[in-house]
């Protein structure tokens, strides 16, 4: 009798322990560290609350991969998305943050987080003079070099990587809107 009671208590204890551990792990994985939060708030000015997008991330269709998506809220309402995208550059991967407003479906912020492009050439993708051309582009724009994006002379691959990152974010938004419209 005592053996069965101990076994029952032990089984309950292990079940509770595993459940609490799972909940803690899910909660911890949803937290955004302070450095990342500061970067996100710099790219989406006015964001009051930012949370990780909890659904499955889309598969890549090319040289750009969405690593993370964040939903942005202002006054309690969803106001847009921030995408952290890894895109293939000339000398390695380029990590780009792209912020889209849901109000007008336009880019409202863009920042290069990481890059190892050629100094004084490909690394010019980090300059405001290059990045400003992406601002106010809508999900209906092509993000194609020579069409609606001017490449940095001599840094076509690096410039393309940033444009591809934007195309990947737009692809997600268009798919998401189509799914919403069909429901």
What single string gives the DSSP state of each residue in the chain? -HHHHHHHHHHHHHHHHHHHHHHHHHHHHH---HHHHHHHHHHSTT--EEEE--SPPPPPSSSEEEEEEEEEEETTEEEEEEEEEEEE-SSSEEEEEEEEETTTTEEEEEEEEE--PPTTTGGGGGSHHHHGGGTT-BTTS---BTTTBPPPTT-HHHHHHHHHHHHHHHHHHHHHHHHHHH-
Confidence band of 4 (pLDDT split at 50, 70, 90): confident
Secondary structure (DSSP) of 56-72: PPPPPSSSEEEEEEEEE
Overall residue count recorded for the chain in this entry: 183
Q: Looking up tokens 């560290």, which residue turns up? A: 33
- Please state, in angstroms and rounded to a whole number, the distance separating the CA atoms of residues 78 and 91: 37
**CA 2 to chain CA centroid, nearest Å:** 55
Q: With bands split at pLDDT 50, 70 and 90, how would you rate the model's confidence at 27?
A: very low
For the cut 70, the answer to whether the pLDDT of residue 21 exceeds it is no
Q: What is the pLDDT of residues 44-85, one digit of tens each?
A: 999 999 999 988 887 877 789 999 999 999 999 999 999 999
Of the listed ranges 66-75, 113-122, 138-147, 174-183, the one predicted with least confidence: 174-183
- 33 or 31: which carries more pLDDT confidence? 33
Say what the pLDDT of residue 62 is.
78
The residue with tokens 């290069």 is: 112
- Residue 151 main-chain phi, psi, to 5 deg: -75, 155
Lowest mean pLDDT among 70-79, 146-155, 174-183: 174-183
Strand partners, 101: 80, 106
Tokens 């032990």 sit at which residue? 10
The answer to whether the pTM exceeds 0.75 is yes
Burial 139-173 (b: 16+ CB within 10 A, else e): bebebebeeebebbeebebbbbbbbbbbbbbbbbb
pLDDT band at 26 (very low <50, low <70, confident <90, very high): very low
């Amino acid at each position: 009798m005592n053996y069965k009671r101990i076994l029952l208590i032990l089984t309950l204890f292990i079940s509770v322990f595993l459940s609490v551990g799972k909940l803690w792990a899910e909660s911890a994985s949803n937290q955004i560290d302070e450095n990342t939060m500061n970067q996100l708030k710099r790219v989406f000015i006015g964001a009051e609350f930012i949370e990780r997008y909890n659904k499955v991330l889309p598969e890549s269709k090319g040289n750009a991969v969405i690593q993370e998506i964040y939903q942005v809220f202002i006054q309690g309402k969803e106001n847009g998305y921030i995408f952290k995208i890894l895109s293939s550059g000339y000398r390695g991967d380029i990590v780009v943050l792209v912020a889209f407003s849901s109000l007008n479906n336009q880019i409202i912020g863009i920042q290069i987080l990481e890059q190892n492009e050629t100094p004084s050439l490909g690394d010019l993708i980090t300059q405001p003079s290059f990045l400003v051309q992406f601002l106010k582009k809508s999900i209906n724009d092509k993000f194609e070099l020579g069409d609606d994006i001017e490449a940095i002379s001599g840094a076509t691959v690096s410039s393309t990587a940033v444009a591809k990152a934007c195309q990947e974010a737009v692809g997600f938004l268009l798919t998401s809107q189509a799914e919403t419209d069909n429901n």
